Structure 1
Amino acid sequence: MLDASLKSQLQSYLERVTFPIELRASLDDSAKAGELHGLLQDIATLSDKITYVENAPEGQRKPSFTIQRAGTDIGVQFAGIPMGHEFTSLVLALLQVGGHPIKLEQDVIDHVRELDGDYRFEVYISLSCQNCPDVVQALNALSVINPRIQVVTIDGALFQDEVEKREIQSVPTVYLNGELFGQGRSSAEEILAKLDTGAAEREAEKINARAPYDLLVVGGGPAGAAAAIYAARKGIRTGVVAERFGGQVLDTLAIENFISVPHTEGPKFAAALEQHVREYDVDIINLQTATALKTAGNLHEVSLASGATLKARTVILATGARWREVNVPGEREYRNHGVAYCPHCDGPLFKGKRVSVIGGGNSGVEAAIDLAGVASEVTLLEFGDALRADQVLQDKLRSLPNVKVFVSAQTTEITGDGKKVNGLDYKDRVTGEQHHIELEGVFVQIGLMPNTEWLKGTLDLSRHGEIEVDARGQTSLPGVFAAGDVTTVPYKQIIIATGEGAKASLSAFDYLIRHSVETAVEETVAA
């Protein structure tokens, strides 16, 4: 199951296991069970602290296995074969159940231990989902810290009957004690906040107690990370407040155009960004959403959804962008119930089904090509009179037998049965004729829109909602700068965002120096 190179790497990791662990398998006669059997046997041969046993408790999914710390109730369970993006989750689970320290802040670990209650999580994932491992690894870590938290990770493609019964059409999807708990990426801190509703209020009190910063960066994507690093290197008091550190990069599958890095993946790149920022004296405030910006005297104030407020002498806005919506009836009603925005994550859930892709740019055509490998039929709809994707992608798309392409097609409604998507209506913009397509999934790929709703009326925005900036990253509000995909700077690329973040930070530092000198002169003259 594992090649020699992977075995060698895994064996070196397993040297960190300090407690004996058991791999308890629940198997049937399927081919997948045979693969799982081979994988677990391979792992067991790599460490004398790991034992493989076949144990099939009543009612346990097959094929599945539990990683159990011998003689204890500490363990995590996988229903499926955790390869692909989930192989890292498997390695971490082996290490953590085996006693290797969990990399969470001590106050988070203490908080998890203090949770009172029994929690049984079921996490539905796909092996091609780059967002799923974060949720799986967070929950597994919580379960090792507190055994009253039980977790089973379920490969939705392998347990299709469960997926259809629960009408799951987006991953990761998490159930807690049989009830829907959440969908999408979540960190350990986010999950903990949902389990303990008083945590948000306590965190807001801590945030309010913070002294004003010289520079506050709002946003934790590439632009925000670069801005924070450049500011910290200047020796000024720097803070970063972000809804999720990494931003849009977390939803990016492959990155192959960041100079000097031939290939990486979004979550890995985001983790490297955060690690780099943490090497400096930067105060990172994660899981907080900015709701308002105002100026009070010589300070700017950023209000947060939690009720807290942060103050700073200068601010860099780097809130990025998000997937643009079609804004037609049915889109929001059926989000995560047939309407999706990530073909890599959710595509495997539509195996053998009919899907549509809205958007004929590179992202839309790439999505259609990917989905053609799993779906029975793919229909691509482009509003314009021609596809906008690179010609090589168009050629590949048109070579696929199960793909249909319609241009001059205006999506007018996404239909459903009240629970999930069952079709899509579109209008031919040339003839005016209305059409209906029967399908099970709709993937929206029509670009990005800036996260600036909270800034309307505060500073100048373009007609597209982007923050207007000059060559130095300065906005229309003195002392407030902006960088990255949220601005009018063209070409939304990671490498451009990092450069713009660095430039905005240098501009903010220059502003601080000049503003301090001007203030000192004014005070001298007044005296």
Structure 2
Amino acid sequence: MLDENLKAQLTAYMEKLTQPIELVASLDDSDKARELDALLDQIASTSERITRRDGDDARRPSFRIVRAGTDVSVGFAGIPMGHEFTSLVLALLQVGGHPVKVDGELANQVRDLEGEFVFETYMSLSCQSCPDTVQALNAMSVLNSNISHVAIDGALFQDEVEAREVMSVPTIFLNGKPFGQGRMTVEELVAKLDSGAAEREAGKIANKDAFDVLVVGGGPAGSAAAIYAARKGIRTGVAAERFGGQVLDTLSIENFISVKYTEGPQLATALEQHVREYDVDVMNLQRATKLVPASEPGGLIEVQLENGASLKSKSVILATGARWRQMGVPGEEQYRTKGVAYCPHCDGPLYKGKRVAVIGGGNSGVEAAIDLAGIVEHVTLVEFDTQMRADEVLQRKLRSLPNVDILLNAQTTEVLGDGQKATGLVYRDRGTGETHTVELAGIFVQIGLLPNTEWLKGSPVELSARGEIVIDERGQTSVPGVLAAGDATTVPYKQIVIAMGAGSTAALGAFDHLIRTSAPAAAQAA
């Protein structure tokens, strides 16, 4: 399972173990069980602190990593390679006594949770969003022995997936009942488990002094803006709904200049680490709901948050990014995560051997169709226009695949379902006006981005007809002291490197605004 180079790296990591651990394996006579058996042997050989024994879990093949003589453990059902290999390494280290990298106050919140929490997470090895959730729950189970967690490879346990109607990953069950879907951090999990956490956080935010620069959003644009502002030595804050933004949902990045290849979650982690190198007040899980401009020139701008708190600042940089655009047809919202999906890399393995559709003929849609064609029985690509807009090399590849149909000049009008899951779609032939039904198990929507600016509607900030924030060459908006950057703005090309440059520009523009106003924010707040 592990080549010599990877085994050498793992051996080096295992030198950090301070507590003995046991690999408790529950195997059967399947090929996957034999693969897992070999992997566990290799892991055990990397350290004298690691031993093996047989287990009796009903879910096979699976294994638990147990701190010897304690109730501390982490479980995996399947073989955690691919994107989950890092989760495996971290679990080995953390169960083996290596410190869990969680903020001290947050770690105490986890330790103080009362009750029994049995978590199960269905993931896929090709999902770039799943490791964050798996690692968060693993860390919590190490910090609090009343919390247990097992990460389950949905592609390997198809019977469970179908019985529990899991149609997107990651999907989390708590004590046998659905708990959540999508990427979740320790902060998000604790906030959902601890009903008083949000209220306490709102109280802390309400007592903060005013900022010189407040960045709303934590993606590439927001991160760059925060770094450039902090380097000017001014009081800087970041309020982000989820740090990393849309980058967290991006699989491979091959056009980030000077970096040949990286993946979205890795880049998001690097962005946050870089921001935290500076004196920046990062407030995560904060959704902005209203912008109140300064009442007088040079006054404080207010950003109201969903939790009832508000922040004030001499200048504000809006970097709220964008999200996947939805079709806006009947049935889409009803069957979201129940057959309607937006991440083919994450959810594709759940549809192995089934028929699916991809909506959209741009690069994202065609790439998704190509990837899915290697997993599922059949792919139908539905494009609204009379021709696909993807690069010609991608179109040639798509047309060469025997299990792909392409529907052009076709408008999706409805998602069909049986009340529990999607079963097909209806499309209208725009040439003839006729409607047709296609029976499907999954529909992957890939039709572009929508700016996260709904909260600005009705404010003085000018928006374009598409809802984008109108900015000038300095990142300035129609409101003095309010700047914007990234995919939420009228910048014509939505690219990570462009968003970073725009964030830097906006920060410099904010600093320019500040030196032309009277006093620092703290003085005005007083």
SS in 2 for 1:72: coil
Range moving further from structure 2, 105-114 or 21-30? 105-114
Distance 1:490 1:46 in 2: 51
Corresponding residue number in structure 1 for 2:524: none
Distance 1:107 1:372 in 2: 46
Q: Does 1:499 align with 2:497?
A: no
SS in 1 for 2:407: strand
Corresponding residue number in structure 2 for 1:434: 435
Q: How does 1:263-342 map to 2 (within 5 A)?
A: 263-297=261-295, 298-342=299-343
Q: Which amino acid aligns with 1:245?
A: F
Corresponding residue number in structure 2 for 1:465: 467
- Contact 2:212 2:520 survives alignment (8 Å): no
Distance 2:223 2:55 in 1: 47
TM-score after normalising by structure 1: 0.97
Q: Which amino acid aligns with 2:7?
A: K
Distance 2:168 2:379 in 1: 18
Corresponding residue number in structure 1 for 2:37: 37
Structure 1, residues 152-200: CA drift from partner, whole Å, max 9, x if none? 1100000000000011100000000011000000000100010011100
Q: How does 1:97-136 map to 2 (within 5 A)?
A: 97-136=95-134
Distance 1:343 1:185 in 2: 15
Distance 1:282 1:445 in 2: 35
Structure 1, residues 446-481: CA drift from partner, whole Å, max 9, x if none? 000100000012110000000000111000000000
Corresponding residue number in structure 2 for 1:154: 152
Distance 1:168 1:116 in 2: 28
SS in 2 for 1:516: coil
Q: Which amino acid aligns with 2:105?
A: D
- Contact 2:170 2:182 survives alignment (8 Å): yes
Distance 2:146 2:56 in 1: 22
Corresponding residue number in structure 2 for 1:206: 204
Q: Which amino acid aligns with 2:19?
A: F
Q: Does 1:396 align with 2:394?
A: no
Structure 1, residues 320-359: CA drift from partner, whole Å, max 9, x if none? 0000000000000000000000000000000000000000
Aligned residue-pair number: 517
TM-score after normalising by structure 2: 0.98
Corresponding residue number in structure 2 for 1:229: 227
Corresponding residue number in structure 2 for 1:217: 215
- Contact 2:72 2:142 survives alignment (8 Å): yes
Distance 2:101 2:82 in 1: 22
Distance 1:421 1:461 in 2: 35
Distance 1:259 1:412 in 2: 40
Distance 1:404 1:105 in 2: 50
Distance 1:399 1:378 in 2: 13
Corresponding residue number in structure 2 for 1:456: 457
Q: Which amino acid aligns with 1:107?
A: E
Q: Which amino acid aligns with 1:63?
A: P
Corresponding residue number in structure 1 for 2:409: 408
SS in 2 for 1:276: helix
Distance 1:337 1:259 in 2: 37
Distance 2:294 2:315 in 1: 12
Distance 1:179 1:54 in 2: 29
SS in 2 for 1:158: coil
Distance 1:354 1:90 in 2: 32
Distance 1:515 1:464 in 2: 33
Deviation at 1:53, TM superposition (A): 1.4
Distance 2:117 2:274 in 1: 34
Deviation at 1:518, TM superposition (A): 13
- Contact 2:293 2:479 survives alignment (8 Å): no
Distance 1:293 1:365 in 2: 39
Q: Which amino acid aligns with 1:425?
A: V
Q: Does 1:171 align with 2:169?
A: yes
SS in 2 for 1:130: coil
Give unmatched runs, 5+ long, in structure 2. Answer: 522-526
Distance 1:518 1:404 in 2: 61
Corresponding residue number in structure 2 for 1:84: 82
Corresponding residue number in structure 2 for 1:15: 15
Deviation at 1:517, TM superposition (A): 8.1
SS in 1 for 2:517: helix
Q: Which amino acid aligns with 1:389?
A: A
Deviation at 1:52, TM superposition (A): 1.3
Distance 1:496 1:426 in 2: 36
SS in 2 for 1:101: coil
Deviation at 1:295, TM superposition (A): 2.0
Corresponding residue number in structure 2 for 1:2: 2
Corresponding residue number in structure 2 for 1:75: 73
Q: Does 1:490 align with 2:488?
A: no
Distance 2:293 2:388 in 1: 46
Structure 1, residues 304-329: CA drift from partner, whole Å, max 9, x if none? 11111000000000000000000000
Q: Which amino acid aligns with 1:387?
A: M
Structure 1, residues 70-97: CA drift from partner, whole Å, max 9, x if none? 0001001100000000000000000000
Distance 2:317 2:44 in 1: 51
Range moving further from structure 2, 41-50 or 508-517? 508-517
Give unmatched runs, 5+ long, in structure 1. Answer: 520-527
Distance 1:85 1:325 in 2: 27
Corresponding residue number in structure 1 for 2:26: 26
Deviation at 1:439, TM superposition (A): 0.7
Distance 2:94 2:321 in 1: 34
Distance 1:457 1:198 in 2: 32
Distance 1:41 1:343 in 2: 33
Identity of aligned residues (%): 68
Distance 2:53 2:27 in 1: 11
Distance 2:335 2:309 in 1: 33
Structure 1, residues 108-141: CA drift from partner, whole Å, max 9, x if none? 1111111110000000000000000000000000
Distance 2:122 2:377 in 1: 22
